[in-house]
Amino acid sequence: MIHIACNIDHQFIQHCAVTLVSLFINNPGQVFCVHIVAGSLPQEDQDLLTKLAAPYGHTVRFYFPPADLLKNYSIKKFGQRISMATYYRCMFPSILPETVDKVLYLDCDIVIRGDISAFWNTDLEGYGVACIEDIGSQEKERYELLHYDPADSYFNAGVLLINLRYWRETHVDRQCETYFLTYPERIRFNDQDLLNVVLHAHKKFVPLTWNMQDGFYRTGIRERVNDWKAFREELLNPVILHYTNKKPWNYDSMHPLRAEYFVYLDKTPWKGWRPSHSVKTRIKRFFKLLPYALKWRKPKYINLDKAVG
């Protein structure tokens, strides 16, 4: 049994469906139990996800923590783009069943493109989490704000293989809450900052293929890479593709692997939906992309077809 956890609200039900379908399709033979944590979720959304998993032989469980569980938290950045549900990650020890010792947390702006068993089987003995370095890990300001050694680096919290037994033994949930109450001015990236503060010395980094973030496809990444040929192969073939910035469902997304999202969307009840269906949206996309097509503006993303050698 592989345990998966997602934090969502109604606005992300479509994208959660895409993440889960991509996981199920590309991991035949595995048995998944998906734990959906939400402040609230309409019954029709619960039924949709349950019915989505059933043909593949998987189960979905829902958790609706009490409203006051997050009373000491607040969103520090991104306005309405991020909901309070993001802090449920910090509170997993008190939300998920004690019989679950390990869980793979996934954001729902993700597409799974291959077998995750090697990641799931990562040895977590002595570690709180297995994770992937964040694209912003070289920003010195993060460590100055959070007051820990940059040598420990900084991970992205959108994909986390969590050692729940360790989290319970060390009271990670309590540590996060205490830090937020004590140093709210230090927090910029919400629960991601908190988890880095608490776990920076108790994490295991794994390869980028398990969380290939948007920023790794951006123009300028080549200057940060020693072996470009090998890195390009990772960009072309990530197992977990994470749309961390502009989302593929945004009409103006230019991500080179944007189409991957729609491959799996078409295997959900939203089959055929596209952000550019309306004439108005197509016109907006045309004018948004025109300066890049005419080379009036520098490309935001590298061209994977030409980025050879």
The CATH fold assigned to 1-309 is Spore Coat Polysaccharide Biosynthesis Protein SpsA; Chain A (3.90.550)
Q: Tell me which of 149 and 229 has the higher pLDDT.
A: 149
> pLDDT tens digits, residue range 88-100?
999 999 999 999 9
Per-residue three-class SS string for 259-309? HHHHHHHCCCCCCCCCCCCCHHHHHHHHHHHHHHHCCCCCCCECCCCCCCC
The mean pLDDT of the chain is 93
Task: State the pLDDT at residue 306.
Answer: 67
Q: What contacts 230, CB < 8 A, 6 or more positions away? A: none
Taking the C-alpha atoms of residue 159 and residue 268, their distance in angstroms, rounded to an integer, is 22
Does 42 score more than 50 pLDDT?
yes
Find all residues with CB under 8 Å of 159, minimum gap 6, and list them: 104, 105, 106, 107, 110, 131, 132, 210, 211, 240, 242
Q: Categorize the per-residue pLDDT at 119 as very low, low, confident or very high, splitting at 50, 70 and 90.
A: very high
What's the average model confidence in pLDDT over 209-217?
A: 96
Specify the pLDDT at position 91. 95
Q: How far apart are CA 253 and CA 246, in angstroms?
A: 6
Tell me, yes or no, if the pTM score tops 0.85. yes
- pLDDT single digits (tens) 251-278: 999 999 999 999 999 999 999 999 987 8
Q: Report pLDDT digits (tens) over 192-209.
A: 999 999 999 999 999 999
Q: What is the per-residue pLDDT for 309?
A: 46
115 against 282, higher pLDDT: 115
What confidence score (pLDDT) does residue 52 get?
97
Q: Do residues 61 and 36 touch, judged by C-beta distance below 8 A? A: yes
Name the more confident of 113 and 295. Answer: 113
104: three-class secondary structure by DSSP? strand
Average pLDDT estimate for 178-196: 95
Can you tell me the mean pLDDT for 121-125?
97
Max CA pair span of the chain: 57
CB-based contact 190:146 (threshold 8 Å):
no
